[in-house]
Structure 1
Amino acid sequence: MIFIHNEGITDPSINLALEEYALRNFDGATNYLLFYINEPSIIIGRNQNTLEEINHEYIEEHDIHVVRRRSGGGAVYHDLGNLNFSFMTRYEHGNLHNFKKFTDPVIRVLNDMGVEGELSGRNDIVVNGRKISGNAQFSTGKRMLSHGTLLLDSDLDEVTNALNVKMSKIQSKGHKSIRSRVANINEFLDEPLSIEEFRELLLKGLYRDRDEFETYHLTEQEWEDVHALRDERYSNWDWNYGKSPKFNIQRNRRFDIGEIDLRLDVEKGYIENLKIYGDFFGKEPVEELADQFVGLRYHPDDLEQALASVDVQDYFGDLPQDEFLNLLYGADE
């Protein structure tokens, strides 16, 4: 495994561009590890409606970055007290959605520090029931990444200030506030660490049982390519916010795989537009699925027929076909 040095950059749009660039362009037979620390920012999941996830006035007032990532899952808050890690490997069917494979090495290092972490739910690392890390994944088909946060010394009040936390998510976890569910790793250490000290301890721990590892520094041309990708995608308003049209039908439900939020424009009984939002994880982009319904009658027979040739698990993970059809048209819960 080769460690990619990000040269201390804290701009989230560049770091996310670097992550995608490395995934798509570096040696496909080699595993890579990337660390990065971001300035205060909200990182939006690939399938989410940005305007409904953020406290827009607050982030404008406090100059907080808003950047959409390529992976699914929910919105997260980053700041200089949070360390992000990213494992990049060859895509294998058994690895996608297998968060345990990629979080176990991190948890082992935390345990060695005296922090008793464990994987909980779909994709969280928790200590004493409090979340210190959220994780997400993305696949290009040949390659995949599994990345996550590690809250060391973040301003946890900013999590609720910057994000609009949906009641469905709070209620589904049985807690009254997001602030009570998250914690900083420093809270569980005898002596608090700086983010730089924590980064070095984690890096050494992840390579503890390996031969001397290689650190890779990008060439000047590679950095130019990373900045070009940043300009094309991660600093682009259309990518980060997109157009948020008004919809005349909204259907929303929380499943074991996450929340799915459907917005439909139906004109004279036909679907003119369908947008799918949520914090689920899927291999394929949900836009491909949504496009298959445009132009159809908004009728269960037509919708069921369109779904007959589709495997919804490619888009949402382990979700039965009939449950998605029921959300699309069935009785509200």
Structure 2
Amino acid sequence: MAEYRLLDTGLLTAAENMALNEILTRRAGAGESRPTMRFLRFKPDAALLGYHQRAEQELHLEFCRENGIDVNRRLTGGGVTYFQTSSLGWELMAPLGMTPFDQGFARSLERICTSAAGSLSKLGVNARFRPRNDIEVDGRKISGTGGFTLEKGMLFQGTVLIENEIEKFMRAMNVPLEKLQKHEIDSMKDRMAFLKDYLGDSFDMEALKAVLVKGFAEDLGITLTPGGLTKEEKAELAERLPYFQSEEWIFAKKGLPRNPYWYHHVLNIESGSLTVNIWLDHSGRLVQKTLISGDFFCSPYRLIHDLEGELMGKKARPGVLSRVVLDYFERTQGEVMGFSAAQVAQAVADTLENPVQSKD
């Protein structure tokens, strides 16, 4: 059986938790740290952007500031996650190819989520895995999950919603509640489940941790031995923490080009959304910068960022950009879950048909 460390880091800030995700995943892949199952919690509450999202588009930043809500960015894709202090996060980090990451991303996701759902059911709720990446109770989402690869390591993580603070989460989102009808707000609330709504005063955090540990050990074939952060991991955390607290990381401040050739396109399909922005050089003939964002997961986690770099300097013609994207996916064997390579390529090509502004 594969041997894992069982690590409980307790209540940390969003920046500390995000930094540890990077550090422990990279170190596990490099053989510098043991494969790890980690329990994590957040204090204060945190609004966590998906890796490919933009804070100003997704969050009501003023509300977050006024209510002491941390804003940060996950290394995993997908949409915004609101992590209450009451919630529990769990994650598995190990080298690629080590159980449970030895059967491809989609199969690993299903295997881990099915185990987590079974563990929650042992507490007395009817939990089950709902593709593509949720765990639900009676048709309502109680846990979202996601993962990423970093160098030779992989992380897969999930959350368990415990106390119902959905209205606070909705107000933190960039959604004008005053424009929503009451039945639409109620519909959003009805899509979420919280353990305390089912278990009441009988809920016990340590019992929740215990069933997850037992379930993962039995279902995934791993041995879990309690342990803490090593001296080397603590030193790397101190070194990396300022970056994860910076605007460069949280708000993706990378100096978007100011030139006036700007094109924008959004692809919405049932499995997610993809937003593409393309800026051209001053001649209007070559791609200067591409920004691809939205609600999706990809593997490896740098797939989209590297694709953006691949498009730089290419001729600004739909057919040319489509071929660049298709060749890139074929060469890297990367995956954007819910989107085919052809759909991504078409979205990039279609962007050039939608100018936001042209040269003065």
Q: What's 1:273 paired with?
A: 289
Q: Secondary structure at the match of 1:292?
A: helix
Q: What's 2:319 paired with?
A: 301
Contact 2:118 2:128 in 1 (8 A): no
Match of 2:276 among 258, 262, 269: 262
Distance 1:213 1:315 in 2: 30
Distance 2:14 2:25 in 1: 16
Shift of residue 221, structure 1, vs aligned partner = 3.9
For normalisation by structure 1, the TM-score amounts to 0.86
Aligned length: 327
Contact 1:175 1:181 in 2 (8 A): no
Contact 1:82 1:153 in 2 (8 A): yes
Q: What's 1:43 paired with?
A: 48
Structure 1 gap ranges (5+): none
Matches within 5 A, 1:151-300: 151-164=161-174, 177-189=187-199, 191-207=201-217, 213-232=224-243, 234-243=244-253, 245=256, 248-266=262-280, 267=282, 268-284=284-300, 285=302, 286-300=304-318
What is the aligned-residue RMSD (CA, Å)?
Answer: 3.1
Shift of residue 320, structure 1, vs aligned partner = 2.9
Q: Secondary structure at the match of 2:327?
A: coil
Contact 2:9 2:40 in 1 (8 A): no
Shift of residue 322, structure 1, vs aligned partner = 2.8
Distance 2:197 2:264 in 1: 41
Identical positions, percent: 22
Distance 1:211 1:327 in 2: 41
Q: What's 2:65 paired with?
A: 60
In the superposition, relative to structure 1, how do residues 155 and 296 fare at CA in structure 2: closer, same or farther (>3 Å)? same
Q: What's 2:128 paired with?
A: 118
Query: 64-73 or 297-306, which moves further after superposition?
Result: 297-306
Q: Secondary structure at the match of 2:227?
A: strand
Distance 2:249 2:77 in 1: 14
Matches within 5 A, 1:78-117: 78-92=83-97, 94-98=103-107, 99-117=109-127
Q: What's 2:141 paired with?
A: 131
Match of 1:33 among 34, 37, 41: 37
In the superposition, relative to structure 1, how do residues 242 and 30 fare at CA in structure 2: closer, same or farther (>3 Å)? closer
Shift of residue 165, structure 1, vs aligned partner = 5.1
In the superposition, relative to structure 1, how do residues 154 and 204 fare at CA in structure 2: closer, same or farther (>3 Å)? farther
Shift of residue 193, structure 1, vs aligned partner = 1.3
Q: Which has the higher helix share?
A: 2
- List per-residue Cα deviations over 1:208-248 (Å, max 9, x = no partner): 6889841111234421211212223x112101111274783
Contact 2:298 2:334 in 1 (8 A): yes
- List per-residue Cα deviations over 1:182-205 (Å, max 9, x = no partner): 110122226441434433443355
Contact 2:120 2:211 in 1 (8 A): no
Question: Which amino acid letter does the alignment assign opposite residue 26 of structure 2?
Answer: R
Q: Secondary structure at the match of 1:324?
A: helix
